[in-house]
Structure 1
Amino acid sequence: MSRPQPLPLSNFRHVTEITTRWMDNDVYGHVNNAVYYSFFDTTVSGYLLKSGAVDFASSTVIGLAVESKCSYFAPISFPDRVRGALKIGHLGNSSVRYDVGIFRNDEQAASAQGYFIHVYVDRATNKPVPLPEKLKAALTPLL
């Protein structure tokens, strides 16, 4: 199995600025691996909110994470500035694969990258439903 290579920032369609915090560092002096998943969530959720694609509090359709992966290439440490970059890897009938790159300061190659997949379900029943048109419209430019 070949190891993924870091993608350039230019491969992504949307960028979000994220500030690291002192508490993000682990005992080795760099951002702990689990924090990268928080960066992924911040990047995706921020885009969904900004685009008006979802209303997390009252939407009848919600996205549930069913799979995730992250590959690490270079360390990030507080007080680095992080850019979370987003593109859509796959837009299905009821699922979305969000591809995310994490970039340190002004670097053009990802320090980490990965994805997570949301299956969109009815909030009350947790049964998969087709993606709402408003969500599809917001995600299509990121393909």
Structure 2
Amino acid sequence: MRKDYRHWQRIPTRWHDNDVYGHVNNVVHYAFMDTVINTWLITEGGLDIHRGPAIGLCVESHCNYRSSVAFPEAVDAGLRIGHLGRSSVRYEIGFYPEGRDDVVAEGHFVHVFTDRSTRKPVAIPADLRAAMEGLVVA
């Protein structure tokens, strides 16, 4: 349900997102997940994707499809955090047609934060963790 998400971002669909069946192809939803998560990490969490010492690597992603959406519709992407560990975070994302309450798809995406150079797990940086705590749901 929309009320269960802490952050929202509207994502426009593009002409080439549609497949031969006339709806946004399933793989595009994974790009939408990347978009909403990384936009939030950069703008709200302060993550420096180019020079920061820690980076988030995707180790798991999943999506359940409920209905379809097609260009030129936009989707409202809701973001929350279902689990916040020492070095990992599980984001949960809900996609809704623009301004509607029927879910198109729901997914999750797990980042493990690592040292940029060694790729060994590290603690989520303190400032980023503090921002993430505002997205955590019980």
Task: Give the TM-score taking structure 2 as reference length.
Answer: 0.96
The change in CA–CA distance for 1:52 and 1:93 in structure 2 (over 3 A counts) is closer
Quick one: distance in 2 between partners of 1:109 and 1:47?
23
The match for 1:77 is 70
Residue pair 2:45, 2:132 contacting (<8 A) in 1 also: no
Quick one: distance in 2 between partners of 1:109 and 1:61?
37
Quick one: distance in 2 between partners of 1:131 and 1:50?
17
Q: Secondary structure at the match of 1:142?
A: coil
Q: How much has 1:53 moved relative to structure 2?
A: 2.5
The match for 1:102 is 95
Q: Which letter maps to 2:17?
A: D
Cα deviation per residue 1:5-33 (whole Å; 9 max; x = unaligned)?
A: xxx11110000011100000000000000
Q: 5 Å matches for 1:6-25? A: 8-25=1-18
* C-alpha RMSD over aligned residues: 0.8
The match for 1:56 is 49
Identify the match of residue 92 of structure 1 among 62, 85, 89. 85
Gaps of 5+ in 1: 1-7
In the alignment, structure 1 residue 121 sits paired with structure 2 residue 107 = no
Q: How much has 1:107 moved relative to structure 2?
A: 1.4
- The percentage of aligned residue pairs carrying the same residue is 46
Identify the match of residue 47 of structure 1 among 10, 16, 40. 40
Q: How much has 1:123 moved relative to structure 2?
A: 0.5
Gaps of 5+ in 2: none
Q: Secondary structure at the match of 1:103?
A: strand
Task: Give the TM-score taking structure 1 as reference length.
Answer: 0.93
Aligned residues: 136
Cα deviation per residue 1:71-130 (whole Å; 9 max; x = unaligned)?
A: 000101000011111000100000000000111121113210110100000000000001
The match for 1:34 is 27
Residue pair 2:77, 2:95 contacting (<8 A) in 1 also: yes
Q: Secondary structure at the match of 2:134?
A: helix
